[in-house]
Structure formats: C-alpha cells, structure tokens
Amino acid sequence: MEIKDIFPADGRSQRIHCAKCGSHCELAFKDFDETVSGVHMRFAGLPTLRCPKCGQEALPDRSRMAIIETHRRALEQGSPGFQSKRKKIEKDFGFTKVKFLYDADDYYYIPGLYRQPDDGFLTPVFFNRAVLLKYDNAPGYRVTFASTTYGQIETESDYISFGINRFGHVVMWLGDIAKLPESEQYYLRSENIASDHALGSEFYEGQIEAVFTPKSREDELFALRSDVIGAFFKRFGEGVAHLEAEVMDVALAFNPPVVDTDKERRHVADALNKIYVESWDNAALGRVFRDLGGDPKQMRSLKLVQGILERVAPAHDVAKLVSPLYVLYDLRVAYSHLMSDQGATDTLEQVMTRLSLPSNSGLMETYDALVAALGAMFGDMKALLASAP
C-alpha cells in the first residue's frame, strides 16, 4: 500500500455513506496492519467505517490523519515500522451533571459530528426504545413522529429530536439532552445504554446532512396519525392514542406487501389494524365524548372517534370520513377467516365496494387503495379538528 492510498481519492472528507452501495456505515474498531510506502504500521483497534449491508470499509478522516502523521514521523526518524495499541478516547464533555453512557469516539470519528465550537454537543447518546413510552404518557410532554424512525419529544417550552436506528435503539444528541431538567435526565439515564455505533438514519440525514429523504407511503401515514393525535390533544387536552411498545414494534418492522398469499394478507391486515385501530385509547376517548355531552357507555374506540367528530362538526359527513377505519377492521376480520367461509367472503366484498375496487381485487390493489384512503382520512380529520368552531 502506498501512502497516497490513505488519502481520499476525490480529496473530500469521508462521509458516512458507503461508496459501494450508498448505505450508512457504522463505526467499528479494526486492527490496521499494513506496509505503507516502506513503513510497516500496525494500529490495534483503529476506528473504521464499515457498511453493515455489503461489508465495504473506509477510514474516517481522523484515522487517515493518524496513519499519515505516523508515517511522516517514522520516515523522519528512519524507523522501518510502528506498532501501537490505540486507547479509546475517554472524555466527559461536561454538558450534564448526570453521567450518561456515550462513546466519545462516535463524536470524533463518525463523519459530520465534530464541531470546533460546542465541542461534544453532537455526541450521540443511545437509549432503549422504552424511553419514548414514558414521555408519550407524561404530563407536559408529547412524542411526535415525522416518520416511523424520526421524531421529537416536545416539552412545554422546547423539543428534543430523536432517531431510531436499525437496532431499534433511540438516539439523541448530548447537547439536546442538557436542555432537559436534571430530574428528567435521571430518567433518561435509567434507559441509557452503551453505544452501538449505528447512527445512520433519517435522523442523521436530517440533522447532519440537512437532507430529508422522500418519505414512503407508510412513513407519511404514520406521521399523519401522529398529527391527528396531536390535534386531538390540542383541542381536548387528552392523549387519545398511546405509543405502546407493541405499536412501535409493529410500525418499525412493517413493510408493504410484496406477495399475495393468505399469510401475507393476514399479516398486513393485522399489522395495520394494530397501528391504526387498536391503538386508540378507549378510556381517553370516553372522557372526551362525555365532556361533549355524550354517553360513552358500551361504546368502543371507533364509535367514540366518530361520535366526538360528529359533535365537533355536526354538519360534516363524519361517518364517511372515518369509514377507512371500519374498512380496515373489516378487512382484518375477512382475512383472518378462510375464504370458504361465506361470512368472510361477504365481508370482503363489502370492503372492496367501499374501496371502489372490483370484488376479485388482490392484496396489492387492496393495500394501495386502503393506505390512500387512510391517508386522506387522517388529513381531513386533522383539518376538521383544527378548523371546526
């Protein structure tokens, strides 16, 4: 290997994206054992960027500079080789009195994080996903999502952005955490985990690259759900749907269908039902409905949502507005039974009629129509809650 090979080929700073497949690389620690322009060099545990998708590796700028500078010194001293066991950077950036677990190597070696002013602000701090569940249920806080993996914890006076990485861990910036009261920092610390060095995400793209990737239909739908929950809270002061662990697990793991099989039909309908039907909080909806003069006794969530909106906007055709939720529920019922069951067949035909589809439509056509209908419904629901007197 020649020393010129250590320099980036295009002369630019190393980025987090894999040069081969474009995926986000993650920080790893690897032994570097090479003869570089006549000098044998061995660094144990050198920070390296590794693509989890294709295995391609690259050196962060700081690692490149360590090799280049060491090579220069070796030549000046006439040394034929160099060997070092690298010591990890142990640094307290001093943003918080609460001692969080984080790895300073992430800040210095993951591309785009190091800033000369505010040294350490963009240090990633990792948490169990359960940390979001508490904030979603705590007075004075709201958890909102721009997509299934990028969102904000909103306080009464500020907000903290977070991401969810490929391991399902929540990531926040150390400098943002310092905005929270010390008591809240102690709660965060209880869910704090050691770094997994996987920062590549929509969170990273938006916060560091200032690039907002086009959302998938699924992300757009989940974000609209979050908007509607927020609109209910703003209007009535109630969290009418909670961020339950199961809902998050299902939303993060969900992928649109690629094959039309009975198993896939059941999976898709069940997953969408858990996210968009079962996640409504019946008790909270009942309190809102009662405050509006209704009697919630023996009413379930969908009827309560409909009843609330009918009282908010009596001139609006609310039954038509919320129809996609009932369609989704019926689709799950139909797909969960054998198609030889006449009742399931009749229910499925009704679903297709309400989605304006032929009765023999397959899963792909049904899924596309249903997601579009749910998206339009949430958009209209948000507007109705905001504009109705």
Specify the CATH number of the domain 3-85: 3.10.20.860
Is 178:95 a contact under the CB 8 Å cutoff? yes
Q: Which two tokens stand for residue 213?
A: 């990737």
pLDDT per residue over 18-35, tens digit each? 999 999 999 999 999 999
pLDDT per residue over 138-168, tens digit each? 778 888 888 888 999 988 788 899 999 999 9
How high is the pLDDT of residue 138? 78
Predicted confidence (pLDDT) at residue 58 exceeds the cutoff of 90: yes
Q: Which two tokens stand for residue 316?
A: 């609006």
Closest CA to 368 of 217, 224, 265: 217
- Looking at the chain, the domain(s) classified CATH 3.10.20.860 span 3-85
pLDDT (mean) for 89-93 = 92
How high is the pLDDT of residue 85? 86
* pLDDT, averaged across the chain: 91
Predicted confidence (pLDDT) at residue 264 exceeds the cutoff of 70: yes
Enumerate the H helices of 237-341 as residue ranges: 245-253, 262-276, 282-291, 301-312, 318-321, 323-335
Predicted confidence (pLDDT) at residue 340 exceeds the cutoff of 60: no
Tokens 């749907």, residue? 241
Q: Model pTM greater than 0.75?
A: yes
**Using CA atoms, how far apart are residues 158 and 234, in angstroms rounded to an integer?**
16
pLDDT (mean) for 174-184 = 92
Predicted confidence (pLDDT) at residue 214 exceeds the cutoff of 80: no
**Using CA atoms, how far apart are residues 47 and 16, in angstroms rounded to an integer?**
13
Crossing angle for the helix pair 282-291 and 301-312, nearest 10 degrees? 30
Most distant CA pair in the chain, distance = 89
pLDDT per residue over 201-211, tens digit each? 899 999 998 87
pLDDT per residue over 12-21, tens digit each? 889 999 999 9
Burial of 111 (0-12, 13-18, 19+ CB in 10 A): buried
pLDDT per residue over 363-386, tens digit each? 999 999 999 999 999 999 999 999
The residue ranking higher by pLDDT, 54 or 118, is 54
DSSP per residue, 6-58: TS-TTSSPP-SB-TTT-PBPEEEEEEEEEEETTEEEEEEEEEEEE-TTT--EE
